[in-house]
Amino acid sequence: MSSDTKEDTRDDDMDVEENTDLDAVPIIDDNDVNSKCGFSSFRPDCLQMFANIGTFIGVFSISGLLTSTLSIYVNSQVPMLEKEFGFSSADSGLIMSCNDLGYLTCVIFAGYIAKKVHIPIGLGISMILFGICGVLCALPYFIQDKSKYDLDQTSSGIDVLTNMSTSSMSSVSRKVPLCMNTTGNEQDSCDVTSDSVEARENVANLQIKRIAFYLICFGMVFQGIGKSPRYPFVTLYVDDTVEKRKTGYYMGIVISTAIFGPALAFILGGLFSKIYVTLQGLCDQGCSSNLYIYAAFTFIGKFFTALKIMPTFISQIRCVAETDRAAATAFAGFTTSALAWMPGPVIMGVLIDKTCTLWKYSCGERQSCSLYDSRDFRTYLHGFSIVGYSLACLILVLLYLHFRISGKTEWREEDKIQNTEKQGVETVKIKK
């Protein structure tokens, strides 16, 4: 057999090997105990039926759904946090940004070590850390003073307001600020040495506010640390296990499942927000009945925004070298968090605070906002969004024009080599 024939046979064998359907092959290596399902030395044969990519995708999709639900649930409870602990919108924005602060500190490192760790075990540890942080964020609820909400718990907020006389409203306004500006800007007594019960309560509430703020911030920081390995680890694991053309399919399942997390979070947030806590805030703001029209347009906008998720993800891992896939995913997440997710909540919090028309004060310190100007609120909210989307579209158009004009189509060194070889083969065929 000639050397040319041997090389052709070797190339054919390599093509067959590359085209093998990896989905049908379990991700088990009999020589590697770490590839088997189980914990430590407990890896019975009955569990090895789950050692496949389908099980991994299913389990991680569920855990991704729960973690995204937990993250967004905290966001859905921002109004309640502000009322409960006297946070301003800027404070709430800082709390939300703490999640990305933890993410930024670890995501690049997670992308670097992805090739050197046992990925399923690493993901399991990160999920456990994420759950512990959720408990930490819930602790402030159990340390607050609930005695200030000593109204009749058997009545709903609307019934209490309906049956309450003007004098009764004034008598409870110290404990439950209503729409009337009875104590909005009053400098409350805060002398610790005073025998006044009100003074001691005011000081205690300020201390609880600070403790709650730091507890939630720490919880959000470690939540960010816990979620940092998710996509760098999963991207590398899936892309190395299945055929390249099926990476988008499996990652689409993971990302699509996680997208339902925010919806589930807001549903739960809406249900739990109906639980009686205070009479905060049933003021008629003169809102119109166009909620359904607004929701429909919002849905359409978010739908088209979601269409770019998978193309963007695939382009991130296909325009870099094979060894840099996890690092590319990590760097993309780092850039997005640093430029958008971390500063965004703080900026929006400051803008929202500017729309407040009635502040609550305690011990001379400004607390939460009791009433917003709805017109200014929506102007700042949507104006900020329009500016952000416009800048993003401008950048994308400029990038497209730049690469279109320059004619750049090769992103990786492998692409250059393949294109050069292909051009050489076509040239030989033409000469023949």
Domain boundaries, the chain: 23-156+163-281+299-372, 384-432
pLDDT over threshold 70, residue 422: no
Average pLDDT, integer, range 316-342: 87
pLDDT exceeds 80 at position 281? no
Q: How confident is the model at residue 7 (pLDDT cuts 50, 70, 90)?
A: very low
Give the mean model confidence (pLDDT) for residues 121-139: 87
Q: Is the pLDDT of residue 12 over 50?
A: no
In the structure, what pLDDT confidence band is assigned to residue 394 with cuts at 50, 70 and 90? Answer: very high
Quick one: three-class SS letters along the chain? CCHHHHHHHHHHHHHHHHCCCHHHCCCCCCCCHHHCCCECCECCHHHHHHCCHHHHHHHHHHHHHHHHHHHHHHHHCHHHHHHHHCCCHHHHHHHHHHHHHHHHHHHHHHHHHHHHCCHHHHHHHHHHHHHHHHHHHHHHHHHCCHHHCCCCCCCCHHHHHHHCCHHHHHHHCCCCCCCCCCCCCCCCCCCCCCCCHHHHHHHHHHHHHHHHHHHHHHHHHHHHHHHCCHHHHHHHHHHHHCCHHHHHHHHHHHHHHHHHHHHHHHHHHHHHHCCCCCCCCCCCCCCCCCHHHHHHHHHHHHHHHHCCHHHHHHHHHHCCCHHHHHHHHHHHHHHHHHHHHCHHHHHHHHHHHCCEEEEEEECCEEEEEEEECHHHHHHHHHHHHHHHHHHHHHHHHHHHHHHHHHCCCCCCHHHHHHHHHHHHHHHHHHHC
Question: Sign of dihedral through CA atoms 363, 368, 372, 377?
Answer: positive
Per-chain mean pLDDT for the chain: 75
**pLDDT-derived band at 378, boundaries 50, 70, 90:** confident
pLDDT tens for residues 44-103?
888 888 888 888 899 889 988 888 888 788 777 777 778 778 888 888 888 888 988 999
Instruction: Tell me the backbone φ, ψ of residue 356, rounded to 5 degrees.
Output: -75, 135
Does the structure show a pLDDT above 70 at 109? Answer: yes
pTM of the model: 0.70
Q: Which of these ranges, 4-13, 30-39, 47-56, 266-275, has the smallest mean pLDDT? A: 4-13
pLDDT at 255: 87
Helices 230-241 & 89-113 angle (0-180, nearest 10): 40
